[in-house]
Amino acid sequence: MTFQKDYTERVYAGVLGKLIGVYLGRPFEGWSYDMIMEHLGEINYYVHEKLDVPLIVTDDDISGTFAFLKAMPDYDHDKNLTAAQIGQTWLNYLIEERTVLWWGGLGNSTEHTAYLRLKNGIQAPESGSIALNSKVVAEQIGSQIFIDGWAMVAPGDPEYAADLAGRAASVSHDGEAIYGAQVIAAMEAQAFVESDTNKLLDVGMSVIPKDSVIHQMIGEIREWHASEPDWRKARERLAASYGYDKYGGNCHMVPNHGLIIHSLLYGEDDFQKSLMMVNTSGWDTDCNSGNLGCLLGIKNGLDSINAGPDFRGPVADRLYLPTADGGSAINDAVTVTYDVVNTARGMVGEAPLAPKDGARFHFEMPGSVQGFQIEDSIESKGTATVENVMGNSSKGERSLAIHCNRIAPGRVARAATPTFTPSKEVSDYFSSRGYALHASPTLYAGQTVQAGVMADNSNKSPLTVSVYLNVFGEKDELVLVRGPQIELAPGARQQIEWLLDLDEDGPIAKIGIEVSSGKAADGTVYLDYLGWDGAPNITLRRPDHARNSRWELTAEMWRKAWIDGIDEYNPRFPEAFRLVQNSGTGLLMQGTRQWTDYEVSSEITPHMVKSAGVGARVQGMKRYYGLMLAPDGKAQIVKALDGNTVLAEKDIGWSLLGTYHLKMQVSGNRIQGWVDGKHLFDIEDNDRPLTGGAIALICEEGRMASEAVTVAPIG
């Protein structure tokens, strides 16, 4: 496997194509062709506003695609990654009934059925087999919608991409569903090196059995395309021969795969036209459009997406990946691109790419804005635009231009990007639609922000620049917090550093750049890079203002910053954190994979509980270190990784209803633990150590309580 010169950019185009396709099709998912034509007409552009829904949504097509690919780095980039290991990845990143999947029940939702098999100890591929789950359940569409990532880590190697796709698909699917996924994966992998559509179809057909329904259907669609110039008539033939009435279940693979092939051929390499056809044709629109958009993005690059209407501007690279790894939920297409690329590089022993010294926002992909948009407030509305431009960078090739228009006293330019759920209204909307936005903030008090900024040479006067935050305060209203202000003369360049010592204790919702002036002025400021490092220094608790005298919550976003992997985490109780787990182990998590060396501490009260404690370097439901009050009065250091291992244990004689102060430090491979100030554990983990992750309160079978959790740098 080799990487073409434009490999990273083509992955970015594939990721964008996937996002655009999903966002186009999501508002009318499940509609028929006739319904779409009656109410919307041909889908040439986004229609979310017509249906009064947001453009950027939580969606299984996106979150499943990039969450399940984490199996590869989680298992040390092993090219022989097994289906069983991918199944274990499902158990780690999924929170039952909450994240990624449509939780429609056993025998109704294919993915939920597979999850229940995995949860009950049935490993993949049996978990997704026809023998266990029936032909109809096992041949639904889900395997195809999650498959693009496996193709993008195998550029130019369609056979290997199809092999990976088969392993990944078998976790939840079987039969024709696997074949459809393999065709898409093989074509996308080959699209990195081949632009001829018919040759791609030949490659796709070559990796599946010739006697399969998918193989037969693709052959017939190709014949129709050769003899029937009208795409609508060809769509009618597809519906008549392979429609939903021929294939049972909620959303079968075969009809929807047929629409992807049909639109690929009739779209004639035109990104807008192809997505118009696949969306207008109906059925599982967001899934089909997402797969086709990804394939066309890889195949034809960014120019093909840019050639039509402005699909990229409204998206602004934004996407959500709500999983048990909550620190990656607020995301963007550039960050995901480099995750995919570095996964592929790890598979062949290449060092990861880290543009601009690993800055969180670096803008190195053409046209990328990484979620930055002009703030729509009274002070800043209409004062600026943002644009990705070449040059004006000390560490790379590109930067984000903030073009200011007539700023003046009381009129500033602000451009910001989300670091958490951007508003309570957004959070409430997603919770109501079934795909909630489970997310932790990416930025915390105690961390140090660095931003590289430059003023354009042609500016007529100096401009004042600062980094600013929007932080959730009382009644979940956003509070503006400014960092140090600097004056930038025309052509000047400077790095801003800001240690976040904040008075506000709510989650940080956004970070941005503010440009102001003491007099009316135009001008451009370039954001070269923006990032942060260091361990947080914060106590996570219920803010004083978050509950009134009647015990009613008056602010909720502090709670929603926690990833809820607990059976019962209810706000009505007197403790800030009363956790109840009915069976197994539950986690209440907050933080990011970028947290490496730190200490976590909390006073916890175990009620009727099997074990309770705090977690560090938490990477999901099944990957973490825990300092636990364990059965029989013992304290333990536990490592969760493909099962639980007790790394150290001591008898301390703890008892139910007592309150205990637990503190755990993680530094490199060293793990230390204290209970009530007594240093009990000092060990090293040299066997696949977990190197970074969030913190958690951990509860196994019962009830525990805590008022606060503190995270701090070591020393």
pLDDT tens digits, 197-246: 999 999 999 999 999 999 999 999 999 999 999 999 999 999 999 999 99
CATH of the domain at 488: 2.60.120.260
489 and 408 belong to one structural domain: yes
392 and 292 belong to one structural domain: no
What pLDDT does residue 553 have?
A: 82
CATH of the domain at 244: 1.10.4080.10
184: amino acid identity, one letter:
I
592: amino acid identity, one letter:
T
Rounded CA-CA distance 592/46 in Å is 33
What pLDDT does residue 505 have?
A: 84
Residue at 123 is within a domain: yes
The answer to whether residue 281 scores a pLDDT higher than 80 is yes
pTM recorded for the entire structure: 0.96
Length of the chain (residues): 715
Rounded CA-CA distance 321/312 in Å is 19
Boundary of a domain, candidates 253, 285, 320: 320
**Phi, psi (rounded to 5 degrees) for 681:** -135, 140
pLDDT tens digits, 586-630: 999 999 999 999 999 999 999 999 999 999 999 999 999 999 999
CATH of the domain at 684: 2.60.120.560
Tell me the average pLDDT across 249-265: 97
49 and 193 belong to one structural domain: yes
pLDDT tens digits, 118-152: 999 999 999 999 999 999 999 999 999 999 999 99
What pLDDT does residue 433 have?
A: 77
* CB contact set of 537 (below 8 Å; sequence gap of 6+): 445, 446, 711, 712, 713
Where does the pLDDT of residue 424 fall: very low under 50, low under 70, confident under 90, or very high at 90 and above?
confident
Tell me the average pLDDT across 408-430: 93
**Phi, psi (rounded to 5 degrees) for 309:** -65, 170
Residue at 277 is within a domain: yes
492 and 609 belong to one structural domain: no
The answer to whether residue 685 scores a pLDDT higher than 80 is yes
Residue at 331 is within a domain: no
113 and 227 belong to one structural domain: yes
Residue at 586 is within a domain: yes
The answer to whether residue 511 scores a pLDDT higher than 90 is yes
Tell me the average pLDDT across 456-474: 96
Q: What share of the chain is helix, strand, coil (3-state, %, to 5)?
A: 35, 30, 40
pLDDT tens digits, 406-416: 999 999 999 99
What pLDDT does residue 434 have?
A: 77
What pLDDT does residue 72 have?
A: 98
Residue 271: domain span: 13-320
Return the beta strands (E) in 329-430 as ranges: 330-332, 373-374, 384-390, 398-407, 413-418
Where does the pLDDT of residue 423 fall: very low under 50, low under 70, confident under 90, or very high at 90 and above?
confident
471 and 569 belong to one structural domain: no
Residue at 305 is within a domain: yes
The answer to whether residue 507 scores a pLDDT higher than 90 is yes
Which of residues 265 and 551 earns the better pLDDT score? 265
570 and 514 belong to one structural domain: no
Where does the pLDDT of residue 55 fall: very low under 50, low under 70, confident under 90, or very high at 90 and above?
very high
Residue at 3 is within a domain: no
65 and 174 belong to one structural domain: yes
Boundary of a domain, candidates 294, 320, 346: 320
**Phi, psi (rounded to 5 degrees) for 452:** -100, 125
Boundary of a domain, candidates 320, 336, 362: 320
Q: Check if the beta carbon of residue 260 is closer than 8 Å to that of residue 275.
A: no
The answer to whether residue 418 scores a pLDDT higher than 80 is yes
Residue at 354 is within a domain: no
The answer to whether residue 292 scores a pLDDT higher than 80 is yes
90 and 129 belong to one structural domain: yes
380: amino acid identity, one letter:
S
Name the percent of the chain lying above pLDDT 90: 94
422 and 566 belong to one structural domain: no
704 strand-pairing partners: 579, 606
pLDDT tens digits, 12-46: 999 999 999 999 999 999 999 999 999 999 999 99
Domain count, the chain: 3
Where does the pLDDT of residue 572 fall: very low under 50, low under 70, confident under 90, or very high at 90 and above?
confident
The answer to whether residue 195 scores a pLDDT higher than 80 is yes
The answer to whether residue 317 scores a pLDDT higher than 80 is yes
Average pLDDT over all residues of the chain:
96
**Phi, psi (rounded to 5 degrees) for 605:** -120, 110
163 and 234 belong to one structural domain: yes
467 and 593 belong to one structural domain: no
The answer to whether residue 715 scores a pLDDT higher than 90 is no
> In the structure encoding, which two tokens stand for residue 68, read together?
């399940």
Tell me the average pLDDT across 71-94: 98
Residue at 368 is within a domain: no
Helix (H, G, I), strand (E, B) or coil at 39: helix
